Amino acid sequence: MPRRRSSRATGSSPPRSRTSPRTPGSPTGRSLAAAIAGVPTAHGKLLALIKTYVGLVKDQPSTAEIMTVELRQSSKFMKEYDNPKFAELLRLIAGIVSDGQAAGELGDAIPPAIAARMIFGVLDELATAWLLSRDSGLSGRAAPRGKKFDIVRAADWVGELVTHGLSRRSNA
């Protein structure tokens, strides 16, 4: 695939932020792009994206189940499947991370593309656990048989993990 020349190289209009390369084509992609539009910080964008993604999983569990559970049953499918919308999601997340790193808001120890896959991996596993849950200790308490844990509340935990890590912070 040929690379497009940047607008800086061609002298055309200024470049767009990496977090808004173009509006993703799927309804999910549009929802995620809309969720981060106008949010000024990388932390805020990551939190908005995480909460929106988790909300979509909660509101559309059948679609989420197809993507997180059913398609994984075919290793041939997983090896041969090329999903440009998934790649666009990863670029969106990587762009947020990259912009945050460039602004000094996020550390630069992890390359943005790898951080994007890690963030998606956390979200994907959370969705899978929620979709498959019967009893769950993920809420801190055992859920009654047949009840799912509160995935919306878990979005806050994922946001905390992604934006602050597991490091201990002083109370000062």
Q: Kindly state whether residue 149 falls inside one of the protein's structural domains.
A: yes
| CA distances in angstroms from 151 to 76, 106, 107, 154, listed in the order given | 30, 26, 27, 5
Q: What is the CATH number of the domain that holds 70?
A: 1.10.357.10
Predicted pLDDT at 134? 53
| CA distances in angstroms from 102 to 38, 98, 114, 122, listed in the order given | 18, 6, 16, 24
The whole domain housing 65 covers 24-136+144-162
Please name which of 63, 39, 59, 58 lies closest in space to residue 49, comparing C-alpha atoms: 39
Predicted pLDDT at 46? 95
Ranges of residues in the chain with a pLDDT under 70 are 1-29, 69-83, 134-147, 166-172
Q: Kindly state whether residue 61 falls inside one of the protein's structural domains.
A: yes
* The two structure tokens encoding residue 40: 């000024």
Q: Kindly state whether residue 50 falls inside one of the protein's structural domains.
A: yes
Q: Kindly state whether residue 1 falls inside one of the protein's structural domains.
A: no
Q: What one-letter code names the amino acid at 36?
A: I
- For the question of whether the overall pTM of this predicted structure is more than 0.75, the answer is no
Cβ burial, residue 4 (10 Å; 0-12/13-18/19+): exposed
Q: Kindly state whether residue 87 falls inside one of the protein's structural domains.
A: yes
Q: Kindly state whether residue 172 falls inside one of the protein's structural domains.
A: no
Q: Kindly state whether residue 171 falls inside one of the protein's structural domains.
A: no
| CA–CA gap between residue 79 and residue 21 (Å, rounded) | 27
| CA–CA gap between residue 111 and residue 143 (Å, rounded) | 37
Predicted pLDDT at 111? 95
Please name which of 152, 160, 91 lies closest in space to residue 127, comparing C-alpha atoms: 152
Q: Kindly state whether residue 169 falls inside one of the protein's structural domains.
A: no
| CA–CA gap between residue 78 and residue 168 (Å, rounded) | 38
Please name which of 98, 95, 94, 90 lies closest in space to residue 29, comparing C-alpha atoms: 90
Give me the number of domains the chain comprises: 1
% of the chain at pLDDT higher than 90: 37
